[in-house]
């Protein structure tokens, strides 16, 4: 088990959880407060997920390259998830978030930025979780 990676997951998860809490304080100030609530929840939930994953990292059996790939993909995906939903709340973007974005719209460039960001988050998280699941089911050599 790579205890350094586990510790980094926990530490970065705590940072993301904190960002989610700070976002919650500003909900009424965003262009779209409902999307800001979603951003708050993304930060808190993704932060909790990273902390839990750090605690369970000893059960994940991956090669050093896959372990590194999983780490960086998860860190990007979880922080970018919070960041792009926060941008959607600031801009009032709604193209990729029709439920929370109802009644709001942003400039085409802002909509495209948020859309591309959220697509990258979806693909990144899917790939990283697939790697983690593989590592959880792979036999533990130690």
- Ramachandran class of 92: left when φ > 0, alpha when ψ lies in -120 to 50, beta otherwise: left
pTM (two decimals): 0.93
Alpha carbon distance 12, 80 (integer Å): 13
In the structure encoding, which two tokens stand for residue 14, read together? 């705590």
Output the pLDDT for position 141.
Answer: 54
Q: What is the pLDDT of residues 52-109, one digit of tens each?
A: 999 999 999 999 999 999 999 999 999 999 999 999 999 999 999 989 888 999 999 9
Identify the helix (H) or strand (E) that includes residue 11.
helix 3-25
> Residue 2 — pLDDT band, cuts 50, 70, 90?
confident
Cβ neighbors of 100 (< 8 A, separation 6 or more) are: 32, 34, 35, 37, 38, 88, 94
Question: Would the CA dihedral through 61, 66, 71, 76 be positive or negative?
Answer: negative
In the structure encoding, which two tokens stand for residue 52, read together? 């839990």
Output the pLDDT for position 138.
Answer: 87
Mean pLDDT rounded to a whole number for the chain: 95
In the structure encoding, which two tokens stand for residue 43, read together? 């930060």
Cβ neighbors of 12 (< 8 A, separation 6 or more) are: 50, 75, 79
Output the pLDDT for position 47.
Answer: 98
Per-residue b or e along 7-41, where b marks 16 or more CB atoms closer than 10 Å to that residue's CB: ebbbebbeebbebbeebeeebeebebebbbbbbbe
Q: What is the pLDDT of residues 35-51, one digit of tens each?
A: 999 999 999 999 999 99
In the structure encoding, which two tokens stand for residue 135, read together? 């590592």
């Amino acid at each position: 088990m790579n205890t350094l990676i586990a510790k980094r997951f926990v530490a970065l998860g705590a940072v993301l959880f904190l960002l989610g809490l700070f976002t919650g304080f500003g909900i009424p100030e965003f262009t779209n407060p409902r999307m800001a609530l979603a951003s708050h929840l993304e930060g808190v939930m993704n932060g909790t997920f990273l902390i839990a994953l750090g605690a369970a990292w000893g059960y994940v059996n991956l090669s050093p390259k896959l372990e590194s790939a999983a780490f960086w993909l998860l860190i990007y995906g979880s922080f970018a998830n919070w960041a792009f939903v926060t941008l959607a709340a600031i801009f009032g973007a709604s193209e990729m978030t029709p439920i929370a974005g109802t009644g709001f719209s942003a400039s085409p460039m802002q909509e495209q930025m948020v859309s591309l960001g959220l697509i990258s988050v979806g693909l990144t998280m899917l790939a990283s979780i697939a790697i983690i699941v593989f590592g959880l089911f792979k036999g533990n050599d130690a």
